[in-house]
Structure 1
Amino acid sequence: MNKQNSQISDRAMSQSDKEHMVSIPIEEWADLRDVYRQDWPKGAYSYCGLDTYIQLSRKDLDLCKREVRIRSVDNNWREHGIFILDDHTDYSHIIRVDTCTSEHSSLFKLALTYMDLESCDEIIFRETIATTVRQYLQESGYPLKQDCYPRQLYYLSKEDSLKLQIRENADYNIKPLTLADVEEVERFWLYKRKGSSYIIRRNIKYNLTFGAYQRETGELCAWVLLNELGCIGFLYVKENYRRQGLAEHLVVHLCQALAKQDCDALAHIRDANVPSLKLFERLGFKAIEYNYWFIKEDIFTE
């Protein structure tokens, strides 16, 4: 074991520490979600993300019990909203952590010590807690090589989503994706890594999705999914089918489907992704904050 891995191992949380965490039962996840309804839409990211897991639990309780765990530092989580969400599949381990207030900074720092840094592949966190999370990761032996993949979070209310106009295109059938489309979606996914095929499969099976299929050939030409973060994601149009408005067409379909489920719409966009920025801003989306991804494999990749 090299020095860096030794430092990380020495700082790993003991089993007794983990046992002091408070597990939030699935039937109370909605209470935690609703804490983030305060000061709307600033808490939209965690609200919508938690809601996605609530919907997953209603569709496949056994899978949710097996793969998802939400914990907090004490039983006052309805007050401070501090949580650690572990989405731990057979292929990857993603952690989400948040707090809805800055008044409990010491408790939030304690919560960070409960993260399983040895096991996890990614940690996702918001702009409001970014400084604290980065500092903890560095103190735990993880030198951050870059700025943790910042993405702007864009927001559109359900009321505004319902105002969007769907323009039909006679050349394409717009319908939900199927599990037969998993391989195609992954093949064009820019950020694919360990476990991405399984996550795409889970998203297609349980979340809202739309694909544009060429009427004559049945080819899947473009697609969009509601991802595991509760955000519009995986948006892609194959090169031969661009400049036909398919991206906008699919996003509008998904926004309206979300609105009909009484949900607002969110999307993560890189600052450098000018076409996506123009599309979402044209539809009325507004940037509300940055979110960040700590991807552990980057630390050990030269």
Structure 2
Amino acid sequence: MDRLQQVGVQQMEDLKSVYTRDWPKYCKEYYCLDNFVDLHRRDPQLENVKVYALPDLELGLFVIVDRNQISVGFLESERSESLLREALLQLDFLGGEQFASMPKRYFKAAMDVIYAKNLKIDINSATYSLVLSNEKALQFQVEPPVGFSLKSLDVKDAKVVDDHWEWSEPGTLSFIQRQIFCNTSVGLYKDEDNELVAWCIRAQDGLLAVLQVKNSYQRRGFGALIVKEFSRLEALQGNDIITEVVPENKASLSLFQKLGFRIINQCNWLLTEAPMRER
């Protein structure tokens, strides 16, 4: 097998075009690459991020290492699973890696590599992958309630976002800061004192993510308002909107489906156990 090679913005753009096939089957891979193209254009010396691909870009195979997060993609074929397995075996895994929001077609190859490298699974969580077309998103009429304003998040808001996120851990604050600086985000602010009461961001894998409404402001339709405005902003850039929801979160799943999102896949989050992990 050819060795993985590190690639730049132009090769990532070429890979993106490969993933327009059979839309929206590969929309997750497309928007993941799209995010990292934007990040590299804003910061060509992007720290702790490496994007790898095989020399034959038409295979579509890529592996993105973003600190401890691993994102992967390939076009399905008879050889694709074995190619991904062999590609991942070329990388050093020490434990503590997270295969982030990975479509189920990559699950077996990732598990094979985890076991081959004698790593242990710490978390294996399944999610539904949902998509909303930009045509539907452009139909949203968005009007904040009296006394509130919608605007993009400021980087200084990242601490509030991270403090309220159930998946917050050391290192997530820097992810949130980076994504707010580089990508679409939406916040609902109280006009009286500029308090941030609800928000979401575009995550590093292209997802509408970290959707949150502060407890004291729930049951007022603010979650739907944030999703609509985020979706509208993404649609104005020509994008469909993707997100993920754990099956147990019936309220979030119902919210997205009522707004027109449809389930297109199952994804898995795999976190390997870090060495000397504190319990």
Partner-residue secondary structure (3-state), 1:53: helix
- The answer to whether the Cα contact below 8 Å between 2:179 and 2:201 also exists between their aligned partners in 1 is yes
- The answer to whether the Cα contact below 8 Å between 1:95 and 1:120 also exists between their aligned partners in 2 is no
Q: Which residue of 1 aligns with 2:97?
A: 121
Q: Which residue of 2 aligns with 1:184?
A: 160
Whole-Å separation in 2 of the counterparts to 1:94 and 1:116: 13
Whole-Å separation in 1 of the counterparts to 2:130 and 2:82: 30
Whole-Å separation in 2 of the counterparts to 1:185 and 1:107: 38
Give the TM-score taking structure 2 as reference length: 0.92
Q: Which structure carries more helix by proportion?
A: 1
- The answer to whether the Cα contact below 8 Å between 2:122 and 2:270 also exists between their aligned partners in 1 is no
Q: Which residue of 2 aligns with 1:82?
A: 61
- The answer to whether the Cα contact below 8 Å between 1:164 and 1:252 also exists between their aligned partners in 2 is yes
Is 1:289 aligned with 2:265?
Answer: yes
- The answer to whether the Cα contact below 8 Å between 1:150 and 1:290 also exists between their aligned partners in 2 is yes
Whole-Å separation in 2 of the counterparts to 1:67 and 1:33: 22
Q: Which residue of 1 aligns with 2:7?
A: 24
Q: In terms of mean alpha carbon deviation, does 251-260 or 156-165 score higher? A: 156-165
Q: Which residue of 1 aligns with 2:22?
A: 39
Amino acid corresponding to residue 220 of structure 2 in structure 1:
Q
Unaligned ranges ≥5, structure 1: 1-16
Q: Which residue of 1 aligns with 2:169?
A: 193
Q: In terms of mean alpha carbon deviation, does 224-233 or 100-109 score higher? A: 100-109
**Larger Rg over CA atoms:** 1
Choose the corresponding residue for 1:208, options 184, 207, 214.
184
Choose the corresponding residue for 2:198, options 222, 229, 238.
222
Choose the corresponding residue for 1:52, options 3, 23, 35.
35
Q: Deviations over 1:230-258 (max 9, x none)?
A: 01011100111111111111110010100
Whole-Å separation in 2 of the counterparts to 1:143 and 1:212: 40
Aligned-residue CA RMSD (Å): 2.0
Q: Which residue of 2 aligns with 1:102?
A: 77
Q: In terms of mean alpha carbon deviation, does 116-125 or 287-296 score higher? A: 116-125
Partner-residue secondary structure (3-state), 2:265: strand
- The answer to whether the Cα contact below 8 Å between 1:109 and 1:132 also exists between their aligned partners in 2 is yes
Highest RCO, 1 vs 2 (Cα 8 Å, sep ≥ 6): 2
Matches within 5 A, 1:206-285: 206-285=182-261
Choose the corresponding residue for 1:70, options 51, 59, 62.
51
Paired-residue identity, %:
26
Label 1:35 to 1:214 Cα distance change in 2 as closer, same or farther (>3 A). Answer: same
Q: CA deviation at 1:145?
A: 5.3
Whole-Å separation in 2 of the counterparts to 1:225 and 1:186: 11
Q: Deviations over 1:191-236 (max 9, x none)?
A: 0112101001101111111111111121111111111110101110
Aligned residues: 276
Whole-Å separation in 1 of the counterparts to 2:274 and 2:250: 25
Q: CA deviation at 1:298?
A: 6.8
Whole-Å separation in 1 of the counterparts to 2:15 and 2:96: 23
Whole-Å separation in 2 of the counterparts to 1:301 and 1:153: 31
